[in-house]
Amino acid sequence: MSTSFSVFDVLIDRSKMCSDKWSKYPESVIPMWVADMDFDSPNCIKKALNQRVEEGVYGYTHTPKALVEAIQSHLVKRYGWNVSGTHLVHLPGLVCALHLSVRVFSKEGDGIVVPGPVYYHLTKAPLLADRELTSVGMLVENGRWVPNMAELETACAKSNSKMLLLCNPHNPGGTVYTKAELLAIHKLAEKYDLIVVSDEIHCDLILDDLPHIPFASLNEDAANRTITLMAPSKTFNIAGLGYAFAVIENSQLRQAFNKERAGLIASPNMLGLTAAIAAYEEGQEWHQALLQYLAENRNLLAERLSATPIKMLHLEATYLAWLDVSALGLENPYQFFVDAGVGMSDGKDFGNANFLRLNFGCPKSVLEEAIQRIESALETHQAS
Ligand SMILES: Cc1ncc(COP(=O)(O)O)c(C=O)c1O
């Protein structure tokens, strides 16, 4: 397969695709919110899907051995992580696994520790299940968002704390945790005997030359207390096909998870399975080109925003920039930029209304237009 960067420059009209992203705002607003890119998926995925659709007969389907092998090979190649096929749990999405984990591994009133601002399902999962959400602040250290470790220890030490929900790479903020940082977090999980759910859905979207370290791969104890959640959906833009997987090495935890899952959470559908095999087996070249394109978009955004009062820390991973707009003194920053024609995610949904999250997983020309709209809105605001 040959891929040139121009595939990411192509403008695709998604207005008639029932796209969540493109249905939220009127046509005059560029949607830059939900974590969904405006790029076509790689040809290898389209080819595999077409082939499967052509075959016809769409009955119940189990997970092919080829997918288990493709995942194992992906985890070894990218992270040096050897995972047994029996430790994988195949799922129709990652969010259901977050919610299910909270319900299986804790009981009403138990404390769930969550560093944030963070992707809102990590905080919603404990709240919807009547658990006590123990939020832990994040602070900026050496230009990166990291959990406040003193606060984290206090939270973990609470007598009702049972679980820790981690997002690595972090959404929003894009931190790729280092081994030292992960070991420090693990030390607390071990000391206070917490089950860890590590949402690693963005692990294949690292824009710098940094390794992703699966939390469960740190050591034997981490492997024993961790539910790792991963998916090809963000990386290959196939979220609508509904496929994710969990790695649960501890057989007691895996059995408990599977027991509650049975009958409640559907198996992944065959098109999701088909796409996942193609992505992991054949998508590497496209993936590399994507990372380069996203890094260029990140750099463009960072450079242009550096001339404005909006603050953006260096983003190590994801295509979701976390923008501090507090210096603008706006009453409703989210609405201000929607009115200016840029529909970002409201920081309030992640835990801080002084921030906005901008999705730059789009053609450069679209990003340029959005930046221009932001700059014009700022000029008008500053002049008023
Ligand atoms: C950290 C994180 N976890 C999970 C999800 C969604 O997972 P899924 O679509 O597989 O339910 C997202 C989507 O934005 C995310 O950013």
Percentage, residues of the chain above pLDDT 70? 99
Do 177 and 204 meet the contact criterion of CB atoms below 8 Å apart? Answer: no
Rg (CA), the chain: 21
Both tokens of residue 208? 């710098």
**Would you place residue 382 in the very low, low, confident or very high pLDDT band (cuts 50, 70, 90)?**
confident
- Best residue for ligand 1 mutational test, from 91, 95, 212, 357 (most atoms within 8 Å of Cβ): 95
Query: What is the distance in A from the centroid of ligand 1 to the CA of 94?
Result: 6
The pLDDT of residue 383 is 85
The pLDDT of residue 5 is 57
The closest-lying atom of ligand 1 relative to the alpha carbon of residue 96 is 11
Tell me how far apart the alpha carbons of residues 108 and 103 are, in angstroms, rounded to a whole number.
8
List of residues 6+ apart from 283 with CB closer than 8 A? 42, 44, 45, 232, 235, 236
Tell me how far apart the alpha carbons of residues 236 and 290 are, in angstroms, rounded to a whole number.
9
**Average pLDDT, rounded, for the chain:** 96
Order of strands, edge to edge, in the sheet holding 342-346? 30-32, 342-346, 355-359, 320-324, 311-312
The closest-lying atom of ligand 1 relative to the alpha carbon of residue 36 is 14
1 has pLDDT over 90: no
The SS3 assignment for 292 reads helix
Query: What is the distance in A from the centroid of ligand 1 to the CA of 95?
Result: 6
The pLDDT of residue 3 is 46
Buried b (16+ CB within 10 A) or exposed e, 167-183: bbbbbbbbbbbeeebbe
List of residues 6+ apart from 249 with CB closer than 8 A? 83, 84, 87, 216, 223, 224, 226
pLDDT in tens, 130-155: 999 999 999 999 999 999 999 999 99
The pLDDT of residue 180 is 98
Query: What is the distance in A from the centroid of ligand 1 to the CA of 348?
Result: 18
Residue with the two structure tokens 């981490």: 222
The pLDDT of residue 4 is 54
The pLDDT of residue 106 is 98
What mean pLDDT comes out for the span 322-345? 97
Order of strands, edge to edge, in the sheet holding 195-199? 88-91, 244-248, 226-230, 195-199, 161-167, 111-116, 132-141, 144-147
Q: DSSP strand E in 171-236: where? A: 195-199, 226-230
Tell me how far apart the alpha carbons of residues 62 and 381 are, in angstroms, rounded to a whole number.
56
Domains and CATH numbers, the chain: 5-43+284-383 (3.90.1150.10), 58-282 (3.40.640.10)
Residues in the chain: 384
What mean pLDDT comes out for the span 22-30? 96
Look up residue 16 and give its DSSP letter. Answer: T
254 has pLDDT over 70: yes
2 has pLDDT over 90: no
The candidate with the shortest Cα–Cα distance to 200, out of 149, 269, 246, 164, is 246
Both tokens of residue 268? 């992944």
Query: What is the distance in A from the centroid of ligand 1 to the CA of 383?
Result: 39
Query: What is the distance in A from the centroid of ligand 1 to the CA of 213?
Result: 19
- Best residue for ligand 1 mutational test, from 171, 245, 345 (most atoms within 8 Å of Cβ): 171
The closest-lying atom of ligand 1 relative to the alpha carbon of residue 167 is 1
Which residues line the pocket of ligand 1, CB cutoff 6 A?
Answer: 35, 93-95, 119, 167, 171, 199, 201, 231, 233, 239, 244
The SS3 assignment for 190 reads helix
Query: What is the distance in A from the centroid of ligand 1 to the CA of 201?
Result: 7
What mean pLDDT comes out for the span 171-193? 98
